[in-house]
Structure 1
Amino acid sequence: MTENTTTTERVAIVTGGSRGIGRETAGRLGRDGYAVVVTYSGSPAEADQAVKEVEQAGGRAIAVQADVADENAVKALFDRAEETFGGVDVVVHAAGIMPLSPLSDLDLDVFDQVIRTNLRGTFVVDQQAARRVRSGGAIINLSSSLTRLARPGYSAYAASKGGVEAITLILARELRGRDITVNAVAPGPTATAMFFDGKPQELVDRIAAEPPLERLGQPEDIAEIVHFLAGPARWINGQVIYANGGSAA
């Protein structure tokens, strides 16, 4: 893993960067020449592979383990990004968990874990981002189209992501005058390990057939939107972009 210091390239922190949408996003930013801090919670091997993919795409990268809901760990994450690459320009907060259960059956300890990781995690990461992202930068949170699709079994997850959207819209307005955009991307069903976990093929096929485009989203579909918000899309601010292939709300 590369650990040279520079102050000329744009630098991105991608939480949840070792898997799924986060990993694809890290690689896409690598193609744009970013230095990327791949943030992960559990698997060093997956994080190291994500780092290699960023480097192969043309960027530089390091992997840093952090609990996104722990304010000290997140502060240390931003410290590491600044020490290694000279600053932070883009924060993509893609880390999250998605246990499924009808509301009446969900263990409240699991609910608390969802809120801690998905909602508190967003607040903690965005708090550091608001303090430390440089002028001209972008903060991009990952929400979910489930806040609108209202699919049974997702009450805890959708509730946490509704909070993510509220944080996003308010923070965009709180950063008035800073030249920092704050947006959320709300994917629909996307072909990641988290989506496939525990679903029978019949259900996967039924969900894939719902949007007019008649397929699941792919991680690269979402990564392209993040790339746009991270760089060219300077006039998009304080928005939630529902990226679901046209699934009905």
Structure 2
Amino acid sequence: MSMPKVSLDGTSGFEIPRHVAIIMDGNGRWAAARSLPRAEGHRRGVEALRRTVRIAGELGIGILTIFAFSSENWSRPQSEIRDLLGLLRLFIRHDLADLHRNNVKVRIIGDRNGLEGDVSSLLNEAEEKTRDNDGLTLVVAFNYGARQEIARAARRLADEVVAGRLAATDITAERLSNFMDAPDLPDPDLIIRTSGEQRLSNFLLWQSAYSELVFVPTFWPDFDRAAFEQAISEYSRRERRFGGLAAAGS
């Protein structure tokens, strides 16, 4: 698929990835560096999310996936969990109309079992209200863990085998992919992690097999257009081989 070319940092011809995924990291450290409560860091992180969604649309990115809440985040202090869920509620209630008006389609991945009723309802509402939009697709990974997603897909495949609809010898990587949370979406071309940490932290492990990884030192609340464009510029300079050889045979 041909990707759009745009001008970044004064240089024309950079290739825009079709699907960008972001691990939004560093809210707490941003707040600590300023002697502010962690809740303020999370609040500023929501502002950065709004900014990033807008920029992604302006750059012509087709899909933006964000790691909003990890399945491991439930181990955090209850007060912080309440703050995070409260911000999610505010984001959907206050921003959903704007997202819909701007033709953004919202998709949710992750385990919805056991979520608080109003949280589950809000996630469903966001998907349903924007279902027919055909602009930027915003994928929200909520209560998400990649290993858990793979395990869910394996259980679904096992159910097919037990029901006699599939033979064990028919199980392939492609079939497993079809049982992931969003099998219709292409794998991310670029995964960005903010705050300087250099690991995926149980995020899109299956889908990231051939993704380009860019780690930026910026804490998430400070992630802006310049940082976003710099990450895309880094992506654009790389040669993606998908296990093959470079054009020159290297």
Q: TM-score range by the shorter chain?
A: 0.3 to 0.5
Q: Choose 1 or 2 for highest CA Rg.
A: 2
TM-score between both structures, scaled by the size of structure 2: 0.37
TM, length-normalised to structure 1:
0.37
Kindly indicate whether structure 1 or structure 2 has the higher relative contact order, using CA contacts under 8 Å at least 6 residues apart. 2
